């Protein structure tokens, strides 16, 4: 069963290796392990609904609690300590397009806000009702999950938008196809959520981001329905698919989507490649991207992330063995680990690996190690479970991410790290901060930074430290010339920084689009472009 106050299925655990516990205590100190609030305590904190009982929705506290937030750090603190600031007044479950239409009409009639809810994996406050806001209905779309058609000539599949990653891939795999969209939240996030947040999968270098995979769909809005035909391309004015991508539930509710699929690849493999330092690794991945080599993934960790990954992997013998070997080969503390993915036709994959290996060698990289790649592959969707264990061990963890041109990427990464350190130091904390280049493009890269710090005995103190750090680092991202989000979207947390990227006039254009589709402002108020 899915955890109600943490990540993932409660049958899956990621225990913290003993040596990793000692490592973290040495780096950041020991955090508070105050026990969590119980489900019963949380349920008692749910206020009476402001909406009447109705057979078309549930006003039960449990439904409302389970749809009150996503997976951001404030959401975690709220869920674990019983301090969630707002709950939906009702939760409805759509089983058909007609259900979506009638819920839009009902909410309009009752002056209620409506929040489209996919898998609830947002990390930036996309699905949280606004404290003090209007009565709110959360519309859970996860029952809209059928594969409606697969056209093998056009290689386009049509799914209902609430389908989650594993179900979508299972349906396609049974017919020999794949979408290839694998965000780390794959287990629970949905097709509609991916489109509404412009999500990016781990192998987007090969399969494309969701923007490249989304071919068309059907949107229900308060102003009427929009059908977006799946055309391979169009010069007929601005592409409405691009307007819908990243609209975060503000323009309407996507009920079905056509996606571009591919036959399942003949081969898929991942490798670990060590570089002497992050900068030389970055030169290698830039060269690979700019040579248009058909790799599927390039993920380059800085020295701190390289060390932390090996420590948290919980394989002390392997780590010692690797450390000894690397030292003998002259790789010191600054070493940086690249995870290289190669997907596709067998012969081409072999050639690609050969080319990538020689580029890496030119930049001082060691030969690719398949075992490290296999370990990464095995834990690619398991790593988020570590957040549960870290929390119970006294640590809070969050991430920030951006994308920038190559000329700015590494200096920005350094500035982001410094800003996190400075901010936590002002709260007498020493955070553990590490970064990787997560997605690589010909003209730049995304920079993904993780920070871990001690939970304070008082949850308000944990939140205050987080808030200050989030503000500082968001300002640094903007000042460094990066986007406020490469893949997590805007939601509530990033909304104050959107104008820096869109300009005031651009933001008015987006607001006008929301108003045109939703004249009463009932759809997901406060998110993306503010109220």
Which residues form the interface with ligand FAD (CB under 6 A)?
A: 7, 70-71, 115-123, 126-127, 141, 161, 183-185, 189-190, 192-194, 196-197, 199-200, 248-249, 253-254, 384, 487-489, 524, 527
195 or 360, CB closer to ligand FAD? 195
Determine contact, residues 478/434, Cβ cutoff 8 Å: no
167 or 351, CB closer to ligand FAD? 167
How far apart are the C-alpha atoms of 9 and 196, rounded to whole Å? 24
Residue carrying structure tokens 């030969």? 367
**In whole angstroms, how close is the CB of 321 to ligand FAD at the nearest point?**
30
How far apart are the C-alpha atoms of 188 and 8, rounded to whole Å? 8
How far apart are the C-alpha atoms of 295 and 353, rounded to whole Å? 8
**In whole angstroms, how close is the CB of 363 to ligand FAD at the nearest point?**
26
Residue carrying structure tokens 């006003």? 59
**In whole angstroms, how close is the CB of 190 to ligand FAD at the nearest point?**
4
Residue carrying structure tokens 């000329």? 407
**In whole angstroms, how close is the CB of 184 to ligand FAD at the nearest point?**
4
**In whole angstroms, how close is the CB of 257 to ligand FAD at the nearest point?**
8
How far apart are the C-alpha atoms of 225 and 101, rounded to whole Å? 9
Ranked by CB distance to ligand FAD, the top (closest) residue is 193
3 or 475, CB closer to ligand FAD? 3
In sequence order, which ranges of 59-174 are alpha helices (DSSP H)?
61-66, 73-81, 97-109, 165-173
Element (H, E) at 399: strand 395-405
How far apart are the C-alpha atoms of 84 and 72, rounded to whole Å? 12
141 or 375, CB closer to ligand FAD? 141
Determine contact, residues 31/394, Cβ cutoff 8 Å: yes
Three-state SS letters, 434-451 = EEEEEEECCCEEEEEEEE
117 or 331, CB closer to ligand FAD? 117
**In whole angstroms, how close is the CB of 276 to ligand FAD at the nearest point?**
28
**In whole angstroms, how close is the CB of 316 to ligand FAD at the nearest point?**
26
**In whole angstroms, how close is the CB of 325 to ligand FAD at the nearest point?**
31
106 or 386, CB closer to ligand FAD? 386
252 or 394, CB closer to ligand FAD? 252
**In whole angstroms, how close is the CB of 489 to ligand FAD at the nearest point?**
5
114 or 261, CB closer to ligand FAD? 114
119 or 394, CB closer to ligand FAD? 119
Question: Are β-strands 136-140 and 90-93 bridged in parallel, bridged antiparallel, or unpaired?
Answer: parallel
Determine contact, residues 182/201, Cβ cutoff 8 Å: yes
Cα four-point dihedral sign 325, 330, 331, 334: positive
How far apart are the C-alpha atoms of 102 and 229, rounded to whole Å? 24
Write out the two tokens for 280: 């030389």
User: Any idea what the Cα angle at residue 369 is, between residues 368 and 370, rounded to 5°?
Assistant: 110
129 or 394, CB closer to ligand FAD? 129
239 or 277, CB closer to ligand FAD? 239
**In whole angstroms, how close is the CB of 246 to ligand FAD at the nearest point?**
9
Question: Are β-strands 113-117 and 136-140 bridged in parallel, bridged antiparallel, or unpaired?
Answer: parallel
182 or 331, CB closer to ligand FAD? 182
Determine contact, residues 494/124, Cβ cutoff 8 Å: yes
**In whole angstroms, how close is the CB of 71 to ligand FAD at the nearest point?**
4
Write out the two tokens for 295: 């790799």
Three-state SS letters, 237-301 = CCCHHHHHCCCCCCCCEEEEEEEECEECCCEEEEEEEEECCHHHHHHHHHHHHHCCCCEEEEEEE
The closest of 229, 180, 246, 178 to 483, measured between CA atoms, is 246
**In whole angstroms, how close is the CB of 427 to ligand FAD at the nearest point?**
24
Length of the chain: 531
């Amino acid at each position: 069963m899915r955890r109600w106050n943490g990540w993932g299925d409660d049958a899956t655990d990621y225990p913290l290796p003993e040596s990793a516990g000692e490592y973290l205590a040495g780096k950041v100190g020991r955090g508070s392990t105050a026990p969590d609030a119980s489900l019963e305590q949380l349920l008692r904190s749910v206020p009476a609904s402001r909406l009447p009982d109705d057979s078309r929705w549930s006003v039960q506290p449990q439904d409302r609690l389970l749809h009150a937030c996503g997976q951001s750090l404030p959401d975690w603190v709220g869920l674990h300590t019983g301090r969630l600031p707002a709950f939906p007044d009702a939760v409805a479950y759509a089983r058909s397009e007609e259900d979506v239409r009638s819920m839009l009409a009902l909410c309009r009639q009752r002056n209620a806000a409506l929040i489209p809810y996919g898998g609830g994996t947002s990390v930036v406050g996309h699905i949280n009702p606004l404290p003090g806001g209007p009565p709110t209905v959360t519309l859970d779309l996860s029952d809209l999950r059928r594969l409606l058609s697969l056209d093998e000539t056009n290689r386009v599949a049509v799914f209902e938008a609430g389908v989650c990653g594993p179900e979508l891939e299972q349906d396609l795999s049974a017919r020999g196809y794949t979408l290839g969209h694998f965000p780390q939240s794959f287990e629970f996030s949905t097709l509609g959520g991916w489109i509404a947040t412009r999500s990016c999968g781990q192998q987007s270098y090969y399969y494309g981001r969701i923007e490249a995979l989304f071919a068309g769909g059907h949107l229900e809005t308060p102003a009427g329905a929009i059908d977006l035909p799946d055309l391979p391309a169009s010069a007929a004015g601005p592409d409405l698919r691009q307007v819908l991508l990243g609209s975060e539930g503000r323009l309407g509710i996507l009920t079905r989507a056509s996606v571009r699929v591919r036959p399942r690849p003949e081969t898929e493999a991942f490798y670990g490649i060590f570089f002497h330092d992050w900068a030389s690794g970055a030169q290698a991945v830039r060269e690979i991207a700019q040579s248009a080599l058909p790799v599927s993934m390039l993920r380059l960790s800085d020295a701190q992330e390289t060390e932390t990954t090996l420590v948290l992997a919980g394989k002390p013998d392997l780590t010692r063995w690797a450390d000894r070997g690397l030292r003998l080969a002259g790789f010191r503390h600054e070493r940086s680990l690249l995870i290289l993915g190669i997907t596709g036709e067998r012969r081409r994959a072999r050639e690609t690996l050969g080319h990538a290996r020689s580029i890496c060698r030119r930049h001082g990289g060691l030969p690719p190690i398949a075992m490290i790649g296999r370990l990464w592959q095995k834990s690619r969707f398991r790593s988020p479970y570590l957040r549960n264990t870290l929390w119970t061990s006294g640590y809070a963890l969050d991430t920030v991410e951006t994308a920038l041109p190559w000329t700015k990427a590494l200096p920005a990464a350094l500035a982001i790290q410094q800003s996190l350190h400075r901010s936590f130091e002002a709260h007498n904390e020493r955070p553990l901060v590490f970064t990787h280049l997560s997605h690589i493009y010909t003209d730049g890269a995304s920079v993904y930074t993780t920070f871990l710090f001690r939970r304070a005995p008082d949850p308000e103190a944990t939140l205050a430290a987080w808030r200050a750090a989030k503000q500082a680092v968001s300002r640094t991202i903007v000042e460094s010339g990066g986007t406020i989000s490469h893949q997590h979207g805007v939601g509530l947390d990033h909304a104050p920084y959107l104008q820096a990227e869109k300009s005031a006039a651009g933001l008015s254009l987006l607001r006008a689009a929301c108003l045109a589709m939703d004249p009463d402002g009932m759809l997901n108020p406060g998110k993306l472009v503010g109220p």
